[in-house]
Amino acid sequence: MVRAGGRAAPANATSETDIADRGRNGLWEDCSAVGDVAGAHHRSGSGENVVAMQDNGRDATQDGGEDAVDVVVVGAGFAGLCLLHRLRGDGLSVRVFEAGGGVGGTWYWNRYPGARCDVPSLEYSLGFSEELQQEWEWTERYAPQAEILRYLEHVADRFDLRRDITFDSRVRSATFDEASARWQVVVDPVGGGEPVEVSARFVIMATGCLSSANTPDFAGIDSFRGETYHTGQWPHEGVDFTGKRVGVIGTGSSAVQSIPIIAAQASELVVFQRTATYTVPAHNASLDPAEVAEVKADYAGLRAANRQTVVGFGSRHPGNDISVHEVTPEERLAQFEARWERGGLAFLGAYNDLLIDPAANELIAEFVRDKIRATVHDPDVAELLCPKTVIGCKRLCVDTGYYETFNRPNVALVDVSEHPIDEITPEGIRVGDDRYELDVIVFATGFDAMTGALSKIDIVGRAGTSLRDAWSEGPRTLLGLGVAGFPNLFLVTGPGSPSVLTNMVTSIEHHTEWIADCIAHLREHDVATIEATEPAQDAWVDYVNAVANFTLYPGCNSWYLGANVPGKPRVFMPLIGFFPYAVQCEEIAADGYRGFELAPA
C-alpha cells in the first residue's frame, strides 16, 4: 500500500486517472513539495465582527444596502443546489442566479438524443442527505438525462430551494469594491428587461466546467437553410429526425451517444469526423434491486470509499494495481476482455500504467482497434474509425451501439482530419469538391471547457483587474477554489482542481463542504476577506502541471488543454487525482488556510 499526505492510499482507482494510484508512489510526494511553498498569510485582526453576516440568514443589508446578501451563487446545477442548501443551513442569506428556466445545469441544457451519464447513477448522486439517498430510486445503471433532471428538480423541491433561486437571469458582471470589501453583481434578465444589482460579501461561481457551448466559426454558417442544433443547447421539445438528411459534426461523447439514435430515425446520416474516438460499451441495463439494496445498506460507506479513489467513484470495482508488463499476453487479453464485457470507464483501470507508459497504452489502444475492426464490416470505414492517438488522453467515451451504427446503409463517415470542412452552404456542408445536402446539422462540437462560462462574465477583482486578463495565458488558481487578486470569490470545480477527471458530483460536494467550512471559519474569526496569495497560486499551478506532465494526458489535442478552441492558451487545466487533492485541501484548511491571505476589515 502506498501513502499520500501521510494517509493510507487505497489501490481502488477505477478509470482513466488510474495513473494516480501509481503516481502516489512518488509523484505526489515530489509535487506536494511544490504545493507546500505557500506559507500562512494571516494579517492580524482587530477582532471586530466586520463580516456582518446575519444569523437569521435573511438580513444581510447591514453593510451592503437593501439589495444585499451574504452570498451570490451563479448557477443552479448540482453545485448551485448543494451550495444553497448548505449555506442557507449555516444561516447565510444566499441568492442563486441561473440563466436557464429551471434547475439542472448540464442536465437542463444537454437534452440531445441519448444523453445520459457515464458514471453509475448510484454514485452520480448526492450524499449529503441520508433520507434523500435512501428515498430516491434510480432505474438504470447509467441514468438518462431526463431522470437526472427529475432528480435535481426533486432535490430543489425537497429542500425548498427554489425560493432563493432567480431563474432566466444571466450574471453580466461581478465587481469587487475594495472600500466595502463587497462584490457588486449585475444580472440581466434573459429575454430583456432591467438589470438587477445585488451586493454580496461572497460570490461563488457554480457555473459548471462544460457549460459554454462551442460552435466553430464555420464559413457560411448562417447561410444554411435547414435546422441547426448544438448538443449542449438542445431544444426542450426535442427534435424529430424522421425522414431527414442529417449531418453531425464531431465524434466526442455527445456525438457518440446521439449518433446511434439519430441514425435510427434519419433517412440519411453523415458524420463528419476530425479525430476518431475510443469508446467502450456501456452495457446499460435496469438496476438490479439486490445491488441497490446492497448500496443503500451502507451508502455512507460507499461515498466515503469513493472519496478515497483518484476519480471519486468506482470503489466497488477497484483498478488493477499492477503494470501491464507484469502479466502474460493471455492474462492481459483476458483482463481487457473482462473489462470490455463489464463496460464503462473502468476499462482503463485494467492496469496501473496505461496512462503513464506509451507502450502500455498502445496495448490497450490496439485492443480497442481490434474491436472496431471486428465490429465494422467495411474495412475502410473501420480503419477510419480506428483512433491513432493515445487512449484516454482525450476523454474516453462510453456508448451503446456506436461503432455498429456505421454498418447501417443510411450512415456515411466523412474524414475531415486532413481536409477540414470548407464551408456551410445554404444546402448543407462542403468539404473540398464534395457537397453534402442536408436538412439538419447537429453541432456536437463540445464546449469552451472549464474557463468558458467564467470568461463570459466580467469578473473584476482588486485594482480593476479582470479575470479574463488575469487568465490571458491560461487559468491560475489555488486549489481550483480561489484566485489571487479576487478576494471572497470561490470557484466550484475550477481549473486546477480534479473536477472533470472525476465523478463531478463527488467533487462538487467536496467543494461545497470546503467553501462552506471556510466561510464558517471566517465568520468565527472575524475575517473580512480571504484571497489566494500569488506565491501559493504559482506553486499550485506548477504542481498541477507537474502531475499532468508525469502522464500521457498533455500529449493530444484535448479540451483538457483548451486545444479545441482556436486561440485558447494551451494549458492542462484539471488536476489529476481526487484523493491526494482532497488530502491537501484538508491540510491547508487545518493549517489556517495556508496559502491564502485572511484579512480583517
What residues line the site for ligand N01 (CB under 6 A)?
A: 117-118, 210, 216, 231, 249-255, 257, 272, 274-275, 395, 398, 416, 420-421, 444-447, 500, 559, 564
DSSP codes joined into one string, 514-529: HHHHHHHHHHHTT--E
What are residue 386's phi and psi, to 5 degrees?
-75, 115
Indicate the residue among 34 and 449 with the shorter CB distance to ligand N01.
449
Identify the sign of the CA torsion 261, 263, 269, 271: positive
**Cβ 216 to ligand N01, closest distance in Å?**
4
Closest to 316 measured CA to CA, from 330, 305, 332: 305
Cβ proximity to ligand N01: between 12 and 251 the closer is: 251
Q: Would you say 444 or 459 has its CB closer to ligand N01? A: 444
Min dist CB 445 to ligand N01, Å, is: 4
Least Å distance between CB 145 and ligand N01? Answer: 9
Report the sign of the C-alpha dihedral through residues 572, 574, 578, 583, in that order.
positive
In 77-101, which positions are buried (b, 16+ CB within 10 angstroms) versus exposed (e)? Answer: bbbbbbbbbbbbebebbbbbbbbbe
In the complex with ligand N01, which residue's Cβ is closer, 404 or 513? 404
CB of 106 vs ligand N01, minimal distance in Å: 8
Query: Angle, nearest 10°, between helix axes 329-342 and 358-375?
Result: 60
**Cβ 499 to ligand N01 shortest distance, Å:** 10
Q: For ligand N01, give the closer residue by CB, 95 or 274.
A: 274
Minimum distance between the CB of residue 209 and ligand N01, rounded to whole angstroms?
8
Please, which residues have CB within 8 angstroms of residue 346's CB and are 6 or more apart in sequence? 14, 15, 314, 317, 319, 339
Torsional class of 275: left (φ above 0), alpha (ψ -120 to 50), beta (otherwise): beta
- Residue 5, all three cell numbers: 499526505
Closer CB to ligand N01, 159 or 447, in the complex: 447
Burial status of residue 286 (CB atoms within 10 A of its CB: 0-12, 13-18, 19 or more): exposed
The residue at minimum Cβ distance from ligand N01 is 252
> Of 211 and 466, which CB lies nearer to ligand N01 in the complex structure?
211
Nearer to ligand N01, 87 or 396 (CB): 396
Closest approach, Cβ 446 to ligand N01, in A, equals: 2
DSSP for 344-367? Answer: SGGGGGSSTTTTT-HHHHHHHHHH
CB of 314 to ligand N01, least distance (A): 14
> C-beta of 418: minimal distance to ligand N01 in Å?
12
CB 489 within 8 A of CB 461: yes
Cα 577 to Cα 274, 313, 565, distances in angstroms: 29, 12, 25
Q: Which is nearer to ligand N01, 358 or 420 (CB)?
A: 420
- Interaxial angle between packed helices 578-590 and 27-35, expressed in degrees from 0 to 180 and rounded to the nearest 10: 30
85 neighbors 128 (Cβ within 8 angstroms): yes
**Cβ neighbours for 294, distance < 8 A, ≥ 6 positions apart:** none
Amino acid at 139: T
Nearer to ligand N01, 251 or 320 (CB): 251
State in angstroms the smallest separation of the CB of 413 from ligand N01.
12
